[in-house]
Amino acid sequence: MILPEIEHVLIDEKEVDEIVSRLVQEIDRDYAGKDKKLLLLCILKGSVVFMGELMKRVTVPVEIDFMRVSSYAGGTKTSGTINIILDLYRKDLSSCDILIVEDIVDSGRTLSYLVNYLRLKGARTVRTVTLLDKPSRREVPFTPDYCGKQIEDLFVVGYGLDYNEKYRALPYIGVLKKEVYQS
């Protein structure tokens, strides 16, 4: 059933599944080997569904951790500054190969900030995987290492992504009707 607030389904469950499978293959290939310690770092809250799928499916040994940051001023607007609400506390960062798991890249500010932050904190390697990317929205240069799908400049919800904390539990990714956030 499609909610009435959804304009149309952009990526249905089957396509999300195919995208995740492809990303898992790429990650498995790149992080194989005894000298690696893959740490999947979920950026709360939007990445939680994507993270759950990735960690179930990768076959290389994996550890998980969480950070929470905010860049959104609320609604569909970003504030431009990144606040760390939940930090990463680990003593073994110098032996960790961090893969930041993000739901969507928009201005690029969150991930460019976090990659730099985690490198300065001493992580051995830092890469990024994003389910979705809106390259036309970039305000700072940033290219994710692994990208599920590039999309147009549309505000999307579902599969973890929200609008004012709603719609995260939808199993598909849908375009929110403009009247929902413009009224």
Instruction: List residues with catalytic annotation.
Output: 106
Instruction: Determine if 131 is a binding residue for ligand IMP (CB under 6 A).
Output: no
Binder to ligand IMP among 71, 119, 135, 168 (CB under 6 A)?
71
Query: What track of x and - describes contact with Mg ion for positions 25 through 64 (by CB under 5 A)?
Result: ---------------------x------------------
Instruction: Determine if 108 is a binding residue for Mg ion (CB under 5 A).
Output: no
Spatial distance between the Cα atoms of 101 and 40, rounded to a whole number of angstroms: 7
Among ligand IMP, Mg ion, none, residue 71 binds (CB under 5-8 Å by kind)? ligand IMP
State whether residue 151 is helix, strand or coil.
coil
Stretch (H or E) spanning 95: none
Residues belonging to the chain: 183
Q: Are 65 and 90 in contact (CB under 8 A)?
A: yes
| Triad 26, 140, 176: Cα angle to 5° | 75
State whether residue 101 is helix, strand or coil.
strand
Instruction: Determine if 104 is a binding residue for ligand IMP (CB under 6 A).
Output: yes
Binding site for ligand IMP (CB under 6 A): 46, 71-72, 78, 102-110, 155-157, 161
